[in-house]
Amino acid sequence: MRYRRATVAGASYFFTLVTFRRQPLFGGGKAVELFNEALRSVQARRPFTVDALVLLPDHVHAIWTLPDDDHDYATRWRRVKETFTRAYARDHRLPEPDIGRRARGERTVWQRRYWEHLIRDDRDFVAHVEYIHYNPVRHGLVAAPRDWPYSTFGQWVAYGLYEATWGADEIPQLPAWAGRE
């Protein structure tokens, strides 16, 4: 069976990207900084809006909205992954690639594929934003979303879209699909 991705120009998409063998690359600030630089670099050449984002030690969740006349998130993610990988590999030793990866010239930073979901409506958008912002708590990394520094949660609080205490005292009602990333 051939996998087909949803491609709708100007749409918003939810993504999950996982590191190779779930290596905890994003446990420290330098890798996070390199990822954010890669994202900004690609954004400068191929514009898109990052609506929500969280970097966890071994995976990334994001919601992007593409320009009205554009549906090509795949090239953008490829370039983000390539740019990050080149920068990260300069200062870090990577696991040896298997024969298949070596034959394709692939490094061992990211899993090959990623998950994408076309956001269908406002309710779906909010559910995915909340999932992203609550994810560090779900993984036991912090007690409240405000405590995780590698997330857009603080920006959403600054915009007045969340209270700073959201998700601290009470578990938000997440959709049934939550946790199947």
Q: Are strands 49-56 and 59-65 parallel, antiparallel or unpaired?
A: antiparallel
Cα(99)–Cα(101) distance, rounded to whole angstroms?
Answer: 6
Q: Say whether 73 is catalytic.
A: no
- Catalytic choice (13, 88, 134, 150): 150
Among residues 37, 28, 12, the alpha carbon closest in space to that of 132 is found at 12
CA 151 to chain centre: 10
Query: Any idea what the Cα angle at residue 4 is, between residues 65 and 132, rounded to 5°?
Result: 40
Task: State the DSSP H helix or E strand holding residue 50, giving kind and residue range, or none if neither.
Answer: strand 49-56
Residue 63 near residue 125, CB atoms below 8 Å: yes
Active-site amino acid positions: 150
